[in-house]
Structure 1
């Protein structure tokens, strides 16, 4: 399926979901749930909390859809904003913030599964290297502004500049500039911390 057909099909699904089609909504969940879950996990570093917030995100979306204009609704940015708001509410409740590697700690792309720790361990050397790398990424991201972190996460998940701009409610040029600066800052801080760790 080419890009334009994919976009048209998604727009049709959103319109039908807004009109009450459970089948259309379930298809949208299938399309977006893995990426939304990875973004939430990147912010929370907690498998159970990720599953809870992901479920709440889609439940909130389902409840709100009847009030939305399906032809105008940009589903992905809207969905990520719902997830962001739920995460922020959870942080206010817990009064702490945790940041975040780009990938699942067990190496899975689409599944956050419990009980996979043993498979992840591998050899001791490999395990220690992965732990060190994850810790370094977390330390780097903790030094970046939240908007820069979200830009990097969405870019890593394959969202377009337009989708990132809509999610952050910013202009396309501002997002391009922010993403460029965020990448440079990430590389600079990462290199500095990595060098520091090796010396």
Structure 2
């Protein structure tokens, strides 16, 4: 048992080291003016950043704008990347979350008409693992309903639920990102989950396992 655990730890450590090494090489090539390396970074992370931005904006145009802003910020910050402090994905997504959450907070302070798009009209948002047209349509409809439920949460609850349950950040990562106590983070996550469940029940959304 102990040997298996030790072996798994070594495998995880080796995988992280490889990811950090590959990320550092991509960044080195970008700094040297290699356009193909930059394209690889954009293609690798654009979907995840876009999806995160859409969770906070519920608008495809705003999500696209934020995605572009994130990559502009990343490109300008390449000289600050240090592989010793984590792999490229963690560094890049940390920049993305900071920018997207800052934008979300600003929009909450200056509310305006922000009619959400119909998620089902934007296949780019959802990744489907099946060739079944019917299942894909059901998945899109479910995703649209869950997003509508998330939109109804208060800003504080919405932010914590997205970061924990969709982005799968640890409590400590959320604490570091939002600069609030861990107890507050846990409380908001629990309250957000309860409130979201109530909202989805009122919307008669019962199947969440595939989202």
TM bin (shorter chain): 0.5 to 0.7
Equivalence for 1:77: 94
The question of 1:169 aligning with 2:179 is answered yes
| Number of residue-to-residue matches in the alignment | 184
Give the alignment of 1:5-16 within 5 angstroms. 5-12=14-21, 13=23
Give the alignment of 1:61-140 within 5 angstroms. 61-67=74-80, 71-72=84-85, 75=91, 76-86=93-103, 95-97=112-114, 106=123, 108-109=126-127, 136-140=145-149
Aligned match of 1:60 in 73, 76, 88? 73
**Which consecutive residues of structure 1, in runs of 5 or more, have no partner in the other structure?**
111-120
1:140–1:189 CA contact under 8 A, matched in 2: yes
Single out whichever of 74-83 and 52-61 deviates more from structure 2: 74-83
1:57–1:79 CA contact under 8 A, matched in 2: yes
Single out whichever of 13-22 and 185-194 deviates more from structure 2: 13-22
Would the alpha carbon gap of residues 178 and 11 (structure 1) be closer, same or farther in structure 2, given more than 3 Å must change? farther
Please give the alpha-carbon distance, in whole angstroms, between the structure 2 residues aligned to 1:173 and 1:95: 32
1:77–1:166 CA contact under 8 A, matched in 2: no
Please give the alpha-carbon distance, in whole angstroms, between the structure 1 residues aligned to 2:199 and 2:122: 21
Please give the alpha-carbon distance, in whole angstroms, between the structure 1 residues aligned to 2:160 and 2:114: 18
Please give the alpha-carbon distance, in whole angstroms, between the structure 2 residues aligned to 1:5 and 1:104: 41
1:42–1:100 CA contact under 8 A, matched in 2: no
Aligned match of 2:57 in 36, 44, 48? 44
> Offset at 1:186?
0.9
Equivalence for 1:116: none
**Which consecutive residues of structure 2, in runs of 5 or more, have no partner in the other structure?**
1-9, 206-211
1:161–1:176 CA contact under 8 A, matched in 2: yes
Q: 3-state DSSP class of the match of 1:194?
A: coil
1:148–1:178 CA contact under 8 A, matched in 2: yes
Would the alpha carbon gap of residues 188 and 64 (structure 1) be closer, same or farther in structure 2, given more than 3 Å must change? same
Would the alpha carbon gap of residues 104 and 66 (structure 1) be closer, same or farther in structure 2, given more than 3 Å must change? farther
> Offset at 1:162?
4.0
Aligned match of 2:188 in 178, 189, 194? 178
> Offset at 1:150?
2.5
TM-score norm. by structure 1 comes to 0.62
